Amino acid sequence: MAIWQFTFHLVPREAIKQRHRLGDRCADNENVNAPSYWPRHYAADAEALLPPRESWSSDAFMFGDEQGDCIELWDDGINVRLDVRHFNDPLTRALVNLASVHELNFVLPQGRSIPPLYDELIREIAQSRAIMCVLNPEETLGEIGQERGGRKSHELD
């Protein structure tokens, strides 16, 4: 993942609801029926949005550019990265539509789930580190350095 990419996952809305209802008991309850979800089922949808690329893993289907806009379909999830340097509004709208049609939510890196609404996704992108890096790379990289104890990468051995 590049710092200029806004990253999120597509997760079935029902799985999120079920997880919230059950809390930590979810893993302990053998009677819980998770919704049927096989991310590779969405390959045709992903290919309609971005061109396929050779996957570095036999466990995933990959679409788009690894350093740009991309979608990765793994057995256990759908990962999406949007290149905010060259924001692709039609792709973003298509992803919102895809999520809405298939009853998927966007799950952000912090684990927070948002519904597939364009305005909410745009708000998250506008507040992301990815967009901050594009708008002010020096300040953002300085903040990252401070978060890591102020040590520069060449100081790490």
The pLDDT value given to residue 136: 83
The pLDDT value given to residue 32: 41
Query: What is the tens place of the pLDDT at every residue in 56-87?
Result: 888 899 999 999 999 999 988 899 999 999 99
Identify the segments of the chain with pLDDT beneath 70. 17-37, 150-157
The 3-state DSSP class for residue 114 equals strand
DSSP H or E segment with residue 16: helix 13-22
Residue spans of the domains in the chain: they are 5-155
Using left for φ > 0, alpha for ψ between -120 and 50, and beta otherwise, residue 111 falls in: left
The answer to whether the predicted template modeling score (pTM) of the entire model surpasses 0.95 is: no
